[in-house]
Amino acid sequence: MTNEDIIIKRFEEIFENKNKQLVDTILLDNSMKQLFSVFMERGRKSIKFAEFTYKFSNIEYFEKESQQMFKQLKVKYFLNSNTAFYDWVIEIAYYGMYDLATAAIAKEGFKCATHYTTRLTLEYLYCSKGKDIKKLFAIYDRVLLKKKIIEDLKNAQTKRETARYKSPDLISKKDAEEILADAKEFEKEIIQLIIKK
């Protein structure tokens, strides 16, 4: 069984009521088509803000004349000019990716109530090679998103859960850099996908 077949099978199992916990978390809702641009803009703004937050954590990214001002702001509001917000970079970047994923599935008239089913629906709609057009929902006959993009979204969610629920101090500068780079790539891929359709 190929990866595409596994994705299709998981998605169809939900709708065949084999997975009653998830059946109500993926809805066909054509009103979402009008909201996709709202999610797209919010996702893009979040990724920009995550980038700013990363730079604010590393003041050397700013021009010399701005560095002193940012140091003063950090001391005034955070008591320490060395304060880093890598956990927040990951939080914000992940939610930017999540909103962009929501935008992509909203464009197709889907609404999801969980992070898992949002990722699964994105994967189903845009990463599966459709073999049978008479499946429960139309599947595209070519891969529109790289599988790595879905893995990046899942990785960002895992890091966000660590930052939020486990231990923010486990989040490093390297983690923040990686998730921010993944978020920018995710944004590029999703925006191309949404604009094309």
Based on the structure, what is the number of domains in the chain? 1
- pLDDT, one tens digit per residue, over 57-74 is 998 888 888 888 888 988
Q: Which domain holds residue 43?
A: 3-196
What pLDDT is recorded for position 29? 80
**Is 106 in contact with 36 (CB distance < 8 Å)?**
yes
For position 158, which CATH number holds?
A: 1.20.120.330
- pLDDT, one tens digit per residue, over 144-179 is 567 788 889 988 999 999 888 887 777 899 999 999
**What average pLDDT does the chain have?**
82
